[in-house]
Amino acid sequence: MRGTMLTMSKQHKKVLVVGNWKMNPATLGLARKLFIDIRKNLGRKRLKTGVAIAPPFPFIAELEKLSPSQRIKLASQDVFHEKVGAFTGEVSLSMLHSVGVSSVIIGHSERRAMGDTDAEIAQDIQSVLASKMTAIVCVGEKTRDAHGHYFSEVEAQLSSALKAVAKSKLAQLVIAYEPVWAIGTGKHATAEDVCEMKLFILKILADTFGRNAQHKVRILYGGSVNAKNATELMEVGQVDGFLIGGASLKPREFVSVINQVEVYAK
């Protein structure tokens, strides 16, 4: 069984590890140090795994200078879909692009909890895809119940998000399955449950866009990923990488996860 799984997982699309620093660390100095530590731990080995970090907005421009070769790419934790104008507190895509951001996390559960609606998320997805950047769209249930209602919760979020996606843009789409109960709790979803949800998401993609969609869209898992559970989540969960919060703030642990994912890189 494990042999079969390994063969299947070797067929993964380009794998991806994204570190979501959330509102950490406290200062630019600490952010520079963290970034440099991650870079040092990565060493010089050529990686097939895509690596991105999503720092808080004020640090992005400075961190870009620390990654001239784009070995570590920069992502943002959110975006506002308007181009310019009177939108106090918001940040646009062209601003992000101009400081080196190539992918944008959209609909993270912490943003949804602060009021981001499915409709706003769909607008953001549309503008990110129109700008040729990568949209990392988060979906995930709040709780798990014995009756499988969590599938409908994920389906509703995903269907709303996919309305904003043109078939021609599928290669720019990444779906991050992040069960809310697993985020920052130390309780990750089992690898079997992750695999089941991945297949469910692939089915929705195939139903919406046709069978080829599943070869284009990458599906990540997020929620208490760490150096101890990464290999099993890749191997059995069959995902194309991870979106990582807490462990992305620990350089050695983050790089250990990247190295484990690299085993599955094409």
Binding site for ligand PGA (CB under 6 A): 20, 178, 183-184, 222-225, 243-247
Q: Name the amino acid, one letter, at 133.
A: M
Q: Which is nearer to ligand PGA, 17 or 195 (CB)?
A: 17
CB of 89 to ligand PGA, least distance (A): 21
Beta strands in the chain (DSSP E): 16-20, 50-54, 73-76, 101-106, 134-139, 173-177, 218-222, 241-244
Residue 21 or 209 with smaller CB distance to ligand PGA: 21
Least distance in Å: CB of 239 to ligand PGA? 13
- Active-site residues, by number, are 108, 178
Return d(Cα 69, Cα 145) in angstroms, integer. 46
Say whether 103 sits in a helix, a strand or coil.
strand
Q: What span, in angstroms and rounded, lies between the C-alpha atoms of 262 and 248? A: 16
Tell me the residue nearest to ligand PGA as measured from the CB. 245
Q: Which is nearer to ligand PGA, 223 or 251 (CB)?
A: 223
Nearest residue (CB) to ligand PGA, 101 versus 213: 101
Give the shortest CB-178-to-ligand PGA separation in angstroms.
Answer: 6
User: What letters, b where the CB count within 10 A reaches 16 and e where it falls short, cover 48-81?
Assistant: ebbbbbbbbbebbeebbeebeeeebbbbbbbbbb
Cα distance between residue 238 and residue 264, in whole Å: 10
CB of 20: closest distance to ligand PGA in angstroms?
4
